[in-house]
Amino acid sequence: MATINFGGVIEEVVTREEFSLEKARHVLANEIVAVLGYGVQGPAQALNMRENGINVIVGQRVDSPSWSKALEDGWVPGESLFDIEEAVQKGTILQFLLSDAGQIQLWPVVKSHLSPGKMLCFSHGFGITYSDQTGIIPPENVDVVLVAPKGSGTSVRRLFLQGKGINSSYAIHQDVSGNAREKVLALGIAVGSGYLFETDFRKEVYSDLTGERGTLMGAIAGIFEAQYEVLRKQGHSPSEAFNETVEELTQSLMPLVAENGMDWMYGNCSTTAQRGALDWKGKFKAATLPVFESLYSEVASGRETTRVIETCSKPDYREKLNEELTELRSSELWLAGAAVRKLRPG
């Protein structure tokens, strides 16, 4: 364990120095890791583990688009690619990576094959935390853990291929074997984590749902739209409005924040930009803090979960989602973005 000082708060994390890939391979040497679902996180985690020398199989609905994707990625039917029920039977560690709605739907199948000695691993605390709504209550004779990469499957895979690692949280819900911690850390290293920090299922899902709806996706998309709209109404061109709203942030400023922090980014901008940012930061915090407090309350109460389950479980959800995404893609803001991306050098 590495001890890190986070601004006066001491936290213990696990890095690849303390828990090496060689150790992870040793811990998982006699395991068959069945990755259930090949949609968002499944491909990245399965491919990373395979390339790290872990015995991995994939379980996916036969003849689905994700099944075709698994074939393209080199998974072989009957050898390393199976329908979900057969993968559940064969696996000793089950990486339950279906969507939250998909987990609810297929939980009876998974539960029926959770024999003593197996481990059930999640990458999201949703199903367990909101078990009164999902019905996902594991039997008491299996280990139940969580490894949650802090990024999309695309980022998990991309950082792995770059020789880097994505930060991940881990949690232990049930430790029947007495070896759950060692196994979950091994899984975390095997899927490509740079370092792992401990949490619990409830905190993971509360922070995750808040983040996705907040600064990671929902809030930033809304702020983009608001600023772009103001600039366009004041006569600025689409190119100017998009570059000042999105392009400069994503291509120039956020990489500086990622490199050395917000203060360093401020320090590498003009004094006019520094002064304006510092003066207006408090106003934006005051305006959005009540929204974030309301958001967290909705998540903690389970009301947000109810909306998600009801909406995502509808048979026409994918069709409606595509309509929403098409509307987003067709807006002037993101049409401008598509045009700007084509103009980037190289």
Element at 121 (helix H, strand E): strand 119-122
Q: Go through the chain and tell me how many residues it has.
A: 346
Contacts of 195 (CB under 8 A, 6+ apart): 2, 13, 14, 15, 16, 165, 167, 168
Q: What sign results for the dihedral spanned by CA atoms 17, 166, 38, 145?
A: positive
Which strands sit side by side in the sheet containing 93-96, from one edge to the other? Answer: 2-6, 9-15, 193-198, 166-174, 143-149, 119-122, 93-96, 33-36, 56-59, 81-82
Contact 13, 29 (CB under 8 A): no
Q: How far apart are CA 106 and CA 173, in angstroms?
A: 20
Of 169, 163, 125, nearest to 150 (Cα)?
A: 169
Which one from 26, 113, 124, 236 is the annotated catalytic residue? 124
Query: From CA 34, how far away is CA 55, in angstroms rounded?
Result: 9
77: DSSP letter: B
26 is catalytic: no
Structure tokens at 69: 């994707």
Residues tagged active-site = 124
